[in-house]
Chains A and B, each alone.
Chain A
Amino acid sequence: MLPLLIILVLIVIVIAWVVGLYNGLVRLRNQVKEGWAQVDVQLKRRFDLIPNLMETVKGYMSHERETLEAVTKARAAISGSGGIPERMLAEGGLTAALGRLFAVSESYPDLKASTNFLSLQEELASTENKISFARQFYNETVMRMNNKVQMFPSNIIAGMFNFKAETFFEVEDEAEREAPKVDFS
């Protein structure tokens, strides 16, 4: 009787442990999805802000056609990009192009005095920040997920239920190097 009871208790404990791990993994996977959605929202927001910016800037910066075109092109490259790696490269390109645009805008005092431009600049700078912070949180979640998927003993459960390691959102090195450090003061 007693050995049977012990075995029964052990089985219950093991089942509870598996259920706990499984639910933890599901929660993490949902968090990863949610984290990516947040990054995506901000990327979209930046995408939508750019036509507005171009409209404002056009009149003042007619001599900077190349810089303006570079931004438009970088934006178009995003809608044309296919998979996630390609998309990330395109987003990095837009970051760099925008950085150059704002750097050039420093030499246009009229533009710097326009309240419309200033509020757009604040919006875009903040959106860049939001992209970075959302990315930071997404990467942290991915790391926790990957730790669970790869480390013993949770990797057994992850393997059984087909949980996979997720990919980090890393900015392509090339784009990062290109992005100038802009002093907005």
Chain B
Amino acid sequence: MWEQIAANRRKSFVLVFVMALLLAALGWFGGEYFMGKGGGPTGVVIALVVWFFMTLTAWFQGDNVMLTVSGARKVEKKDLPILFNVVEEMTLAAGLPKMPAVYVIDDPAPNAFATGRRPETASVAVTSGLLKRLSRDELQGVIAHEMAHVRNRDIQLMLFAGVLAGAIVILAEIGLRGMWFGGGRSRSRRDSGQDGSGIIAIVAIVLMILAPILAQLIYLAVSRKREYLADASAAAFTRYPEGLASALEKISRAPDKLSRATSATAPMYIINPLKRSKKMAANATSTHPPIDERIRILRAMGSGSFAAYDRSYMKIKGAKKGVIPGSALTEDPIGPAAPVREKVSASQRENARQVDDFFYRQDGYHRIECPCGTVLKIPPDFHSQVAKCPRCGTVHKV
């Protein structure tokens, strides 16, 4: 299974290389166009500087931004013991060196994501809606999927690819605006066509229009592939594909839309938080494969191994080639199957109660336990000195 990481590195390298070439070409032709003949190298340097600073920012701020933007709050074991246990279990199954930090987001839409450049500094976040809807086995499947992203170093790859795509989009935008307002100096000074600047102008325009689209398509294609791989890994970690399959089914059926997700953070989630129609076919502009298909592949697996996922993928998609790197298939474990499954439906209610309590505490609510068994939650802006229990009528001091 570890061979997969090596395969990922090679693929990420090719991808980053293609995108970097695109960026350099954009810089070169932009430079030639705006600064006249010989401006190419300067254009490349400008493009690289822009990219460098964006990468630097993303590298040091990426995790925090993702967690802040989504409104995630850190939890300790005493707040949500079941969630914590599940994360710990999956850390062991994935063989990660350190357990990721655990965050929850107060949002009724069920979803989850992982961030962190290195497995040592990773974090996983789940919404309260997810905790309230999923059983323990399903939660395990979702967390396993996120751990797979951490273990396969997908987050690093997506961060890198995302920044490259972003730099290309920004430069192309600036270039197009520049053309619109000022036009190239080379065109105004010399006759076009004489030294090939006409061709350069055409290439520059075409590049500025096509490069951002191309960059984003590459980015999205990679994102989709990562999802299949993370699903396969989740099945291999838990040895129980049905857990993730039924979790995905529940998540996709939930009506709520995640309120704080943006198109920039969408690829990070377990399912796309923005698009809700699950019937939609995968096309070049989706961050995730269609959820129906993911569920069908997981359900047709039979056993939880990479080889089973690959066979199932080819059967469902009617494809000749699988999605799992060949090296991972030969490394498939044959060892004894994992734990005895137990359906802990009680854990779902327990999780729901724990996550509610956590957010009430975070928001400064005061708890009063009435002798009749009712728990009164007093909001922080409650003005009166006393509160009456709505069930038995006992008056409590606040």
Q: Inside 8 A of B93's CB, which chain A residues have their CB?
A: 133, 136-137
**CB of A114 closer than 8 Å to a CB of B:** no
- CB distance A134 to B92 under 8 Å? yes
Cβ of B89 < 8 Å from any Cβ of A? yes
The reply on B316 being an interface residue by CB < 8 A is no
Residue A122 at the chain B interface, CB threshold 8 Å: yes
The answer to whether A185 and B346 have CB atoms under 8 Å apart is yes
Of A53-61, A78-86, A158-166, A175-183, the stretch lying at the interface with chain B is: A175-183
Kindly state the separation between the CA atoms of A184 and B348 in the bound complex, as whole angstroms. Answer: 12
Partner of B82, one of A38, A42, A122, A171: A122
Residue of B nearest to A126 (CB): B85
A182 touches B342 (CB 8 A): yes
- A136 and B342 contact, Cβ closer than 8 Å, known pairs A122-B81, A122-B85, A130-B89: no
Shortest distance from the beta carbon of A155 to any chain B beta carbon, whole Å: 17
Q: Which of B81, B89, B95, B345 contacts A129 (CB 8 A)?
A: B89
Contacts of A171 in B (CB 8 A): 336
Selected contact of A184 from candidates B90, B237, B343, CB within 8 Å: B343
Q: A35-B95, A130-B88 are in contact. Are A183 and B334 (CB under 8 A)?
A: no
Question: Is B382's CB within 8 Å of the partner chain A?
Answer: no
| Min CB gap A144→B, angstroms | 7
- Chain A neighbourhood of B350, CB < 8 A: 118, 122
Provide the residues of chain B in CB contact with A31, threshold 8 Å. 95
Q: Can you name the residue of chain A whose Cβ is closest to the Cβ of B85?
A: A126
For window 123-180 of A, CB contacts with B under 8 Å fall at 123, 125-126, 128-130, 132-137, 139-141, 143-144, 168, 170-171, 179
The contact of A181 among B81, B239, B340, B346, by CB within 8 Å, is B340
Our pick among B92, B331, B340, B343 for the contact of A137 (Cβ within 8 Å) is B92
Which residues does chain A contribute within 8 Å of B335, judged by CB atoms? 136, 139-140, 143, 168
Cβ-neighbour of A133 out of B92, B340, B345, B346 (below 8 A): B92
Instruction: Give the number of chain A interface residues (Cβ < 8 Å).
Output: 33
Tell me the complex Cα distance, A12–B172, Å.
47
Q: Which residues of B contact A184 (CB under 8 A)?
A: 342-344, 346
Give the size range of B's interface with the partner: 20 to 34
Assuming the A-B contacts A136-B335, A143-B333, are A130 and B92 also in contact, with contact meaning beta carbons closer than 8 angstroms in the complex? yes
Q: Flag if B239 contacts A136 (CB, 8 Å).
A: yes
Nearest CB on B from A162, distance (A): 24
A181's nearest neighbour on chain B, judged by CB, is B340
B92 touches A140 (CB 8 A): no
Residues of B within 8 A of A139 (CB): 333, 335-336
B206 to chain A, nearest CB (A): 45
Alpha-carbon gap, A119 to B346, bound state (A): 12
Bound complex: CA A136 to CA B81 (Å): 23
- Over the window 179-207 of chain B, the binary record of Cβ atoms lying under 8 Å from chain A Cβ atoms (1 yes, 0 no) is 00000000000000000000000000000
Which of B1, B2, B336, B341 has the most CB atoms of chain A within a 10 A radius of its CB? Answer: B336
A140 near B343 with CB under 8 A, answer: no
Using a CB-CB cutoff of 8 Å, which residues 341-367 of chain B contact chain A? 341-347, 350
Q: Is the CB of A183 within 8 A of B95?
A: no
B 313-344 binary contact with A (CB < 8 Å = 1; else 0): 00000000000000000010111101111111
The residue on A at minimum CB distance from B86 is A126
Most buried by A among B86, B95, B239: B95
Cβ-closest chain A residue relative to B135: A185
**Interface code A89-114, partner B: CB below 8 Å = 1, 0 otherwise?**
00000000000000000000000000
Contact at B334–A143, with CB atoms within 8 Å?
Answer: yes
**Contact among A133, A168, A183 with B89 in the assembled complex (CB-CB below 8 Å):** A133
Q: Using Cβ atoms and an 8 Å threshold, which residues of chain A touch B85? A: 122-123, 126, 129-130
Are A183's CB and B343's CB within 8 A?
Answer: yes
Among B82, B90, B339, B346, residue most surrounded by chain A Cβ atoms (within 10 Å): B339
**Beta-carbon contacts under 8 Å, A40-70 to B:** 42
Contact indicator per residue, chain B 218-258, by CB within 8 Å of chain A (1) or not (0): 00000000000000000001010000000000000000000
Complex-state Cα separation, A137 to B90, whole angstroms = 10
Please give, as numbers and ranges, the residues of chain A lying within 8 Å of B92 by CB-CB distance.
38, 42, 130, 133-134, 137
Do residues A126 and B88 form an inter-chain contact, with CB atoms below 8 A?
Answer: yes
A–B pairs, 21, beta carbons within 8 Å: A35-B95, A119-B81, A122-B347, A122-B350, A125-B342, A125-B344, A126-B86, A126-B88, A129-B89, A129-B339, A134-B92, A136-B336, A136-B338, A140-B1, A143-B333, A144-B2, A168-B336, A182-B342, A183-B342, A184-B342, A184-B343
Instruction: Kindly list the 4 A-B residue pairs having the minimum CB-CB distance in the complex, ordered from nearest.
Output: A139-B335, A132-B339, A126-B85, A133-B93
Q: Assuming A118-B350, A126-B89, A136-B336, what are 18 further A-B pairs, CB within 8 angstroms?
A: A31-B95, A35-B95, A42-B92, A122-B82, A122-B347, A123-B85, A126-B85, A129-B85, A129-B89, A136-B93, A136-B333, A139-B335, A139-B336, A143-B335, A168-B335, A179-B340, A181-B341, A182-B342
